[in-house]
Structure 1
Amino acid sequence: MTPITEVAGRRLSLSNLDKVLHPATGTTKGELLHYYATVGPAILPHLRDRPVSFLRYPDGPDGQLFFTKNPPPGTPAWVTTAPVPRSDAPRARQPVIQDLPSLMWAANLVVEFHTPQWRDGAPGLADRLVLDLDPGPPATVVECCRVALHLRERLAADGLTAYAKTSGAKGLHLLVPLVPAPSPEVSAYARELAVTAEAELPRLVLHRMTKALRPGKVFVDHSQNAAAKTTATPYTLRARPLPAVSAPVTWDEVEETAERGTPDRLVLLLGDMADRLDRYGELLAPLFDPEVAGALPASGTGRSS
């Protein structure tokens, strides 16, 4: 029998609660659902008003993985959807996770959450810049932290403030709150940052994902600023052997990892997050503060050039 529960007045069917999704830790679907219920106040502001794409992994990370943007069959009528401009589907709509019942409905599908840098109603007008730092082995998140510290200074020189989170995989993401700007302009600026970082740190940074050059370097992926692209939402679980979270981290943690060369320091799992939220609060809360948002330089990389 499928359990029925009520979340904020909505009735939900929750299935296969004892199913093991992450064999490395024995993490069950029930524990996954409990995680999202616990971090709901932190993740929901990052999902709200942003069309969401799902990477589904209903049989765990070793099973079938499939990426979906359309509302899946059986989506409840009370789950918000929004029109999304797509060349392949002019009338496409995507789910928008606005509240705890919608979050728990989506979590029951076993998904990663991926969101764009713009909000519903303003497609292509970005209020965040993202840089995805992806290490090429034998480089690890340690090298990503060193690149992140460099980029933080470059952004600060342009009046922009960066916040860091783990990717939940191998790397690190930098998020920058912006006065809303057209995605092409944000993309161009992000690319310049990556190109400049490669010029300044040629043994460590790449701005293009050239496979032959990847070993030992950090690819600064600026492409996720394009309006059609998405990034793993803060606090989402990832389809990895361990139940890893794309988790906010402090700059002290980034500096410590860079200095000590300890990549395990930034492997943050489902079970770590409640204590981290108690200890640090919501480290990405400034992303929602209009007074923290910065404007792109008038042209190019402005003061940092």
Structure 2
Amino acid sequence: MARSDAVELEVAGRSVRVTSPDKVFFPERGDTKLDLVHYYLSVEAEAMRAMGGRPVLMQRFPDGVGGGNFFQKRVPKSRPEWLATTVVSTPNGTRSEALVIEDLAHVVWAVNLGCLGFHVWPSLAADADHVDELRLDLDPSPGIRFEQIREAAFVLRELLEEVGLVGYPKTTGNRGLHVYVGLEPRWDAIQVRAASVAVARELARRREDLITDAWWKEERGTRVFIDFNQNAPHKTVFGAWSARARTGAQVSTPLTWDEVADVHPDELTIATVPGRVAERGDPWRAMRERPQSLDPLLEMVARDQDAGLLDAPWPPVYPKMPGEPPRVAPSRARRPGPDDDG
């Protein structure tokens, strides 16, 4: 088949030019740039519920999977006049003009640049001071199988249900799972991160054989790490319905809890997900329709503070935070010498 130089598509009432539409992005099945565009068109309503109105960080692979890649914080100066942007801060304090997913035309525009991964802010561009998503990241340590990630997810579900909250799971598109709690927009990122620390600690207490809240890798062992720092201010998380830069074009796919029990993330690709959505709908629809209160988890934060627990360590790009313990790995911490007091 002859390669086309470009196609013009009408998306969300806008004309979007897709260059090199036949370029292979995902080599396992030969999925092209245009195939990826058609995937996003097929899940338009679902993708917009997940990303609509939010700033995103683009991860670009101009030559597809296997080629070089880079994160793009700032939208290029050469862009359509209709493109929506907003000024955001990254964890180290750098301010940049980021893309806002105003409609699906913005997604297709980014895909044309080789975006294979939208890393999404937990707040709307129109209300940057309030976080409306708690994101609980079940991160596989080396040696962890997906079956253990799945088991940890159900322990998390039980905890959330005990405090009257509903969690909404999704695959990461790779080896882990995320569980989101949709929030009323009343809390800032500091409070939401504190809630995620409390959740991680409680899960580690309940299943120390399976789950850890240890920030330092040397302390985790072969356990599922609950990465609470994914909720730190200005952090982004790989977006729901976003295709991952893997050869099989796997998708970070929202699931029902019944699906968590029997699906494997490698099965969820740009070829298979549209049919699932057409048959089963959007498992996350209720998360947007029924936002929840963070108060039950903030009560857990207060309980830990009353028990004398300090804050958990922050990532190195952040300034020293109030109540934070020494930010040094235990193996490198200075041990008292014979001349020290005490």
When normalised by structure 2's length, the TM-score is 0.81
Residue number in structure 2 paired with 1:187: 193
Q: Is residue 48 from structure 1 mapped to residue 52 from structure 2 by the alignment?
A: yes
Residue 267 (structure 1) shift: 3.4
Alpha-carbon displacement from aligned partner over 1:78-119 (angstroms, at most 9, x marks no partner)? 0111122456444x3211111122221112122111111111
Q: Is residue 102 from structure 1 mapped to residue 106 from structure 2 by the alignment?
A: yes
Query: What is the rounded CA distance, in whole Å, between the counterparts of 2:191 and 2:12 in structure 1?
Result: 40
Q: Is residue 222 from structure 1 mapped to residue 221 from structure 2 by the alignment?
A: no
Q: Is residue 276 from structure 1 mapped to residue 281 from structure 2 by the alignment?
A: no
Aligned amino acid, residue 294 of structure 2: A
Alpha-carbon displacement from aligned partner over 1:180-223 (angstroms, at most 9, x marks no partner)? 21111110110111112112211211213433355531111111
Change (3 A) 1:25 1:266: closer
**1:297 aligns to what SS in structure 2?**
helix
Query: What is the rounded CA distance, in whole Å, between the counterparts of 2:288 and 2:303 in structure 1?
Result: 25
**2:214 aligns to what SS in structure 1?**
coil
Residue 265 (structure 1) shift: 6.1
Residue 34 (structure 1) shift: 0.9
Q: Is residue 205 from structure 1 mapped to residue 211 from structure 2 by the alignment?
A: yes
Q: Is residue 138 from structure 1 mapped to residue 137 from structure 2 by the alignment?
A: no
Aligned amino acid, residue 249 of structure 1: L
Alignment partner for residue 252 of structure 1, among 258, 269, 291? 258
Alpha-carbon displacement from aligned partner over 1:57-89 (angstroms, at most 9, x marks no partner)? 121221111111211242211011112245644
Query: What is the rounded CA distance, in whole Å, between the counterparts of 1:269 and 1:8 in structure 2?
Result: 24
**1:58 aligns to what SS in structure 2?**
coil
Residue number in structure 2 paired with 1:267: 267
**2:178 aligns to what SS in structure 1?**
strand
Give the number of equivalent residue pairs. Answer: 297
Is there any run of 5+ residues in structure 2 with no aligned partner, and where?
A: 305-342
Aligned amino acid, residue 270 of structure 1: I
Alignment partner for residue 29 of structure 1, among 10, 33, 36? 33
Query: What is the rounded CA distance, in whole Å, between the counterparts of 1:21 and 1:299 in structure 2?
Result: 44
Residue 169 (structure 1) shift: 0.9
Residue 12 (structure 1) shift: 2.1
Mapping of residues 35-184 of structure 1, within 5 Å: 35-86=39-90, 88-90=93-95, 92-111=96-115, 112-180=117-185, 181-184=187-190
Let me know the Cα RMSD of the aligned residues: 2.2
Residue 26 (structure 1) shift: 1.5
**2:126 aligns to what SS in structure 1?**
coil
Q: Which has the higher contact order (CA 8 A, sep 6+)?
A: 1
Change (3 A) 1:10 1:292: closer
Is there any run of 5+ residues in structure 1 with no aligned partner, and where?
A: 258-263
Change (3 A) 1:22 1:266: closer
Aligned amino acid, residue 203 of structure 1: D
Query: What is the rounded CA distance, in whole Å, between the counterparts of 2:58 and 2:277 in structure 1?
Result: 24
Residue number in structure 2 paired with 1:19: 23
Change (3 A) 1:303 1:286: farther
Residue 7 (structure 1) shift: 2.7
Residue number in structure 2 paired with 1:260: none
Query: What is the rounded CA distance, in whole Å, between the counterparts of 1:189 and 1:8 in structure 2?
Result: 37
Q: Is residue 235 from structure 1 mapped to residue 241 from structure 2 by the alignment?
A: yes
Query: What is the rounded CA distance, in whole Å, between the counterparts of 2:257 and 2:101 in structure 1?
Result: 29
Aligned amino acid, residue 107 of structure 1: V
Change (3 A) 1:3 1:299: closer
Q: Judge conservation of contact 1:157–1:304 (CA < 8 Å) in 2.
A: no
Alpha-carbon displacement from aligned partner over 1:238-287 (angstroms, at most 9, x marks no partner)? 11122000001121122346xxxxxx366311111111112210111112
Change (3 A) 1:299 1:31: closer
Same amino acid, percent of matched pairs:
33
